[in-house]
Amino acid sequence: MRASAVMLWVLLAASSFGQEPKKEDVEATLVAFKGTVDVKRPEDKDWVAAERNMKLKKGSEICTAVASTASLLFAGGNVKVDVKPLTQAKIEELAKAGQKLNADVKLKFGAVEVDLRKGDLRTDMKVTAPNSTTSVSGSHGIVRAPATGGGGSITLTTFTGSWTHEAGGVGRSIEGPGAANNLHDLPRDLRYFDNTHEFMDFGGRHRDELYQGRGPGKAGDFNSDDVQFGDRSDRWPTSPKHKRPGILPPPPSPP
């Protein structure tokens, strides 16, 4: 009798151990916005103007115009997502399972600033663009997906925490504040080039001090093969020239 009771207890414990906590959909709250912001919830036929304290569930989209921003709070304030101007993003996943929050924001174009705050919930946050995924944990930073990049070209500016960026089958991790300390706690800028499948890290106080590294080190670490930003201008999509345009001949006079 006693043996069978122990067996029953062991079986019950084993079954409850293997069971995953029940997934429960949660909502994001649009706590503040500035300018022209439109949202499209799954139940909406068309885009509607945003309103304060609007609830956005999984599948909702948000679009900000020029000079417009929106702030979203996920799961009672554990995660703050600031949608920057000229952005279209979608809440692809937003669910709570036990003490874990799964959030996936799909960025079509534009930028979002993610701030994961300490709280009761462990957050698994992802920002996805058409060709890349950025995983965030315990961090604060900005993910930008330029419209022209088609999702392959991502700019990631991290302030704290741990980030993993994957694009084109290539992954790269950036470890938190340690790396930032090498650059006097300055934000870093990681760019992924779709055509070459290379990551380039940037750090510096202003444009002329930016260095780019393609070595195996952490983002922001200076490597021996790093070259100054201006010297590799041929590789930069916008080909920055570090000199002002020279004197051009005057425009032709009208006939």
Residues that bind other proteins (CB under 8 A): 35-38, 46-49, 63-68, 85-86, 88, 108-110, 146-148, 237-241, 244-248, 250-251
Nearer to other proteins, 138 or 230 (CB): 230
Q: Is 168 exposed, middle or buried (0-12, 13-18, 19+ CB in 10 A)?
A: middle
| Shortest Å, Cβ 40 to other proteins | 8
Nearer to other proteins, 38 or 104 (CB): 38
Nearer to other proteins, 59 or 217 (CB): 59
Q: Is 32 exposed, middle or buried (0-12, 13-18, 19+ CB in 10 A)?
A: middle
| Shortest Å, Cβ 149 to other proteins | 8
Q: Amino acid identity of 32? A: A
Nearer to other proteins, 74 or 109 (CB): 109
Q: Amino acid identity of 3? A: A
| Shortest Å, Cβ 168 to other proteins | 19
How far is CA 187 from each of CA 109, 140, 158, 162, rounded to the nearest angstrom? 22, 10, 6, 13
Q: Which distant-in-sequence residues (6+ apart) come within 8 Å of 15 by Cβ?
A: none
| Shortest Å, Cβ 187 to other proteins | 13
Nearer to other proteins, 10 or 65 (CB): 65
| Count of C-beta atoms within a 10 Å radius of residue 118 | 8
| Shortest Å, Cβ 46 to other proteins | 6
